[in-house]
Amino acid sequence: MVDLKGETVLVTGASRGIGAAIARLAAEAGARAILHASAPGAAIDKVAADIGAPRSDVICEDLSAEDAGFRLFDRALAAAGRIDGVVNNAGVYLESLLDGARADWTTGWRKTCAVNVQAPADICHAAINHFRERGGGAVVNIASRAGHRGDSMEGAAYAASKGAILAMTKTFARQLAAENMLFYAIAPGWVETRMAPKDIETRARAVADIPLGRVASPEEIASIAVFLLSGACPSATGATFDVNGASYVR
C-alpha cells in the first residue's frame, strides 16, 4: 500500500474520471486531497463526500480564464497551508475543423491551449515557488498518447497541447531535480471516461487498435499517479509513463 499520510495533494479536474480516481486513491493512501472542478455541481460534491473532504477543500475555477491556474494554487494553499504534490489532470478536447469557420478554429485552439497548457504551466510555476520554501515536492502531469503519436485532424489542438505538457514536464524535471522537485508525466491512450468513444463502430475501431483488447480504467492511471506522488522512485523524475495497452510503444 502506498503511503501518503501527512501529505496534501492538489488534484485538478477531480469531479470525474481520472481526476476523481486519483483523488479517491490519494485519500485512501492517507493524503488530504484538495479537489478542483471547473464549476460547482453534484459530481464534485460526490467525490468530496466519498473521501470526507470539507467544503473548504473543494475549489472551483474555470481554467480557461486568465491567471486561473495561479488563483487555483493560491486558493488551495490558503485552504491547506501547504501543498506537497500536484496532479495536473484537468483538460479539454475541442475539435477544430479545417472546413469550419476560422473563428471556431481559433477559439478551439485558444481554449485548448489555455486549459491544457497555460493553466498547468501556471500551477507548476506557483508550485515550484512553494516547493522551494518547503524543500521539495512532486508534480504529476496527465498528458496523452496523442502527445507522442498525434491525433485525428480534428484533434490537432489537443495533441499539440499534450505534446507541450510532455516537453514542459521534461524541462522542469531536468532543471529542478537538484532542488528535490520531481516531475512526471502519464500519457494514457483511451481511458474509460467521457472522452472514450461511445458509439459501437468507433468503439470497435478504438479497441481493435489496442493489443491488450480493452481501454484502460481511470483507476489504472490513478495507481501510477499516487505511486509517483509517494516519492518511492525519485530517479524516475522526468519520465513519461505510457498507459495504452501497447497501442503505441516507444
CA distance 73 to 123: 6
Query: Is 158 a catalytic site residue?
Result: yes
Q: 3-state class of 66 per DSSP?
A: coil
Using CA atoms, how far apart are residues 239 and 188, in angstroms rounded to an integer? 14
| CB-count exposure of residue 166 (10 Å: 0-12, 13-18, 19+) | middle
The values of phi and psi at residue 145, to 5°, are: -55, -35
Cα separation, 39 vs 24, in Å, equals 19
C-alpha cell at 199: 458509439
**Residue 179 identity:** E
d(CA 27, CA 153): 39
What residues are labeled active site? Answer: 158
